[in-house]
Amino acid sequence: MRVLLFARARDLAGAEAIEVDLPANATVGDLRASLPKLCPRIAGLVERSAIAVNNEYAADTTLLPAAAEVALVPPVSGG
C-alpha cells in the first residue's frame, strides 16, 4: 500500500510516499503502528497526524481497503 506524505512528514522522510506491506483486514491503527518502523524520522509525527483513506479522515479502527488511497496528514500551525 502506498501512503502519501504531506507537509513536515514529507520533509522528514525525504519522499512523497512510503510503501507499506500490511496483511488483509489491516486497520488504520495497524498502519499507524507500522509507519515509524519503516521511517523512524517521522515517528514523532505519526501519533499526532491524521490519516485519510480515500479522501476522508479515518479512525484507527477503520479497515483499509486493498486499493485505497491513503495519506498521512501532519498537524499544521498557522499564524
Break the chain into its structural domains and give their ranges. 2-73
Can you tell me the distance from the alpha carbon of 67 to that of 1, in angstroms, rounded to the nearest whole number?
A: 8
Cell matching residue 18: 512510503
Instruction: Judge whether 64 and 53 are in contact, CB under 8 Å.
Output: yes
Each residue's pLDDT tens digit in the chain (79 positions)?
999 999 999 999 999 999 999 999 999 999 999 999 999 999 999 999 999 999 999 999 999 998 899 999 998 765 5
Structure pTM? 0.91
Q: What count of residues does the chain have?
A: 79
Please tell me the class of the 2-73 domain.
alpha beta
**What confidence score (pLDDT) does residue 77 get?**
64
What is the end-to-end Cα distance of the chain in Å, rounded? 35
Instruction: Judge whether 49 and 64 are in contact, CB under 8 Å.
Output: no
